[in-house]
Chain A
């Protein structure tokens, strides 16, 4: 295709060709001309101006009414030209914002990054997929010198950037608690105060905190209104809901959390998730919790990381599936 040039000469040529032949190719080229004009920030009134000039050259005897009416049209188009300018400006602004958000998202990733610890006797798998650019789910592993493993899993309600900021607050508060206050119930009580004081009243956080002690082979945990996870009894090949009622963080000033303890046997698994997993939708249909559990069952025999990846891929593959909420799934298996 012949490239369209953005000048008066070219416009006049196209116009003449069309007026003489009524050929559609010229019309098509006019369309190209208009696209190119938009790209080069040329306003509609400028094009009309070019049109008037070209017409006068082609028809020196142009009736005055026609030429006046075109001048009239030119005035009528001025606002459209301004709208075009504004559109270009907003587009530039938008791409600027997008790049800022992606910088923030990367920073959040760095700030909140957690390393899956290598704990003797445990097989750990974790996946967390944000629905938008910033993740409102957060998980964190804390391994200490004595070999205990702390697992925090939180879901900030309120999405996007405010949620991400609240998440950083949670992480740094947790880091600042002294080691002797690492009991799940204590951690949640302290965090509840921090959240209640510092976030918007309509924002709250659900959180599960678990502490695995390899010496006593116990898993202690407490929950602040978090979606219940599952406990897998390998010997019975049965799943059991991890029930731990407790109020979400940030709803009232003082709350206490009950702490529970489980003995963990060889090959048993602890399965933790956020409600992004159970609030999945396929088209108009909700995915029921039983269905989620069934999918987890299907993959539980795999190594932990493969299992969580496979569960996510299963939902991702469903037709018409879209992630309404951030999706996080953790599986911890006791190997010995």
Chain B
């Protein structure tokens, strides 16, 4: 089983997009945290996380997004998740984190 997470960063003006592909779990979550947290601390940055190619995420991943949200509030930056696959989106819905984290549901990731 190949459990891995690739993180690609695309910067454009004040907007930084993290394109993730793979799985987010206890083993790969630190990779995400390392890439995401510093971005939320850069003044005037809009951080977008593209989850189209993430087919599995467990609650450790949610933990990273919660700490990213807290950090972005603290530093007055913004955080948005896009292109979530159903399985991943379900986690945000069950935990009601979709009520505090901005999730763009107009574009849905493929399964």
Contact = CB atoms under 8 A, between A and B. Distances in A.
B19 interface: no
B58 A325 contact: yes
A248 interface: yes
B63 A157 contact: yes
A251 B58 contact: no
B26 interface: yes
A247 interface: yes
Interface residues of B, number: 23
Given A201-B70, A202-B33, A202-B67, A159 B26 contact: yes
Contact of B66 (A227, A251, A279, A325): A251
Interface in A233-286: 245-248, 250-252, 275, 279, 283-284, 286
State the majority secondary structure of interface residues on B. Answer: helix
Contact of A202 (B1, B66, B95): B66
Interface stretch (B5-13, B76-84, B96-104): B96-104
A106 B7 CA distance: 39
A201 B66 contact: yes
A157 B59 contact: yes
B20 interface: no
B96 A247 contact: yes
A155 interface: yes
Given A225-B97, A248-B95, A284 B1 contact: yes
B94 A251 contact: no
Contacts of B26: 159
Contacts of B95: 206, 225, 247-248
Contacts of B16: none
Query: Size class of A's contact patch?
Result: 20 to 34
A158 B60 contact: yes
Contact of B58 (A204, A206, A279, A283): A279
A203 interface: yes
A157 B1 contact: no
A5 interface: no
A324 interface: yes
A324 B67 CA distance: 23
Interface in B16-71: 25-26, 33, 56, 58-60, 62-64, 66-67, 69-71
Nearest to A245: B96
Contacts of B96: 225, 245-248
Nearest to A206: B95
Contacts of A248: 62, 66, 95-97
Contacts of A252: 100
B9 to A, nearest CB: 20
Contacts of A202: 33, 63-64, 66-67
Interface string A178-202: 0000000000000000000000111
B62 A204 contact: yes
Contacts of A286: 56, 87
A208 to B, nearest CB: 11
A1 to B, nearest CB: 41
Contacts of B99: 247
A125 interface: no
Contacts of B66: 201-202, 204, 248, 250-251
Contacts of A206: 59, 95
Chain A CB count within 10 A is highest, among B58, B69, B71, for B58
Contacts of A228: 94
Nearest to A160: B26
A249 B70 CA distance: 14
A5 B69 CA distance: 65
A134 to B, nearest CB: 13
A147 B103 CA distance: 44
Contacts of B70: 201
Given A202-B66, A225-B97, A251-B69, 6 more contacts: A157-B59, A200-B67, A202-B64, A247-B99, A248-B95, A275-B59
15 contacts: A157-B59, A157-B60, A157-B62, A201-B71, A202-B66, A202-B67, A204-B63, A226-B94, A227-B94, A245-B96, A246-B96, A248-B95, A251-B100, A252-B100, A324-B25
